[in-house]
Amino acid sequence: MVLVSMSSHPLVASMGFMFRTDLQLQWAYWAPCGFLASGQWSLLGIRYVGTEVLLYVHTSGGYSSVSIPVARNTWYWLTIQYNAVTGYGSLAVFNPSTWTQVGSTASLSFGGTNPTINYWCVGGAENQGNQTSASWWYGPVILDWTDGTFPLLPTPTT
């Protein structure tokens, strides 16, 4: 796991990155990346249910009621936001071939106070249930800690 301290401690930040997984076993939630604050967080929640990989936003308030179904072994662009101003964490998923959004945006409030961000992390695998042998792959990661643009999409270079 890459855990990077955010010395500026912003109130709002977002990250965007390429992601895919080969998850194929029934299991409880995992939280492989996102933002961490003192007692609060906005993380990617991932779960395999039935025959689907489902993505959620995970905050101290739990897991979003909105899940975003994605295909195994397929690349997606994910964008996560931590927003201490509104008190919400959010997740949006995009097909990088067409840049169309997959499913709906998942948002969930924090369960208490809304502190500034201490860290962002990529590659962790916080297990919230049974074990599995899944792998995750990440592509380029971009961050916006100035105003936390959401969704945070890559811009083409000229």
Q: Which residue has the higher pLDDT, 158 or 93?
A: 93
| C-alpha to C-alpha distance for 149 and 157, rounded to whole angstroms | 18
Most confidently modeled of 83-97, 112-126, 128-142? 83-97
Per residue in 14-23, pLDDT (tens digit) is 999 999 988 7
Tell if the pTM clears 0.75, that is, is over it: yes
Is the distance from CB of 49 to CB of 27 less than 8 angstroms? Answer: no
Is 75 a member of any domain? yes
Query: Of 2-6, 39-43, 63-67, 70-74, which gets the smallest average pLDDT?
Result: 2-6
Q: Which residue has the higher pLDDT, 34 or 80?
A: 80
pLDDT, mean over the chain: 85
Is the distance from CB of 129 to CB of 27 less than 8 angstroms? Answer: yes
CATH code (residue 34): 2.60.120.200
Q: Give percent of the chain with pLDDT exceeding 90.
A: 45
DSSP for 35-70, written as a single string: EEESS-EEEEEEEEETTEEEEEEEETTEE-S--EEE
Please give the residue range of the domain that contains residue 136.
2-144
Is 157 a member of any domain? no
Is 155 a member of any domain? no
Mean pLDDT, rounded, for 2-17: 85
Per residue in 87-97, pLDDT (tens digit) is 999 999 999 99
* Residue 114's pLDDT band (cuts 50, 70, 90): confident
In the block, which residue shows the tokens 């029934």?
26
Is 50 a residue whose pLDDT tops 90? no
Is 51 a member of any domain? yes
The radius of gyration computed from the CA coordinates of the chain, to the nearest angstrom, equals 15
**Number of structural domains the chain divides into:** 1
The reported pLDDT for the residue numbered 158 is 41
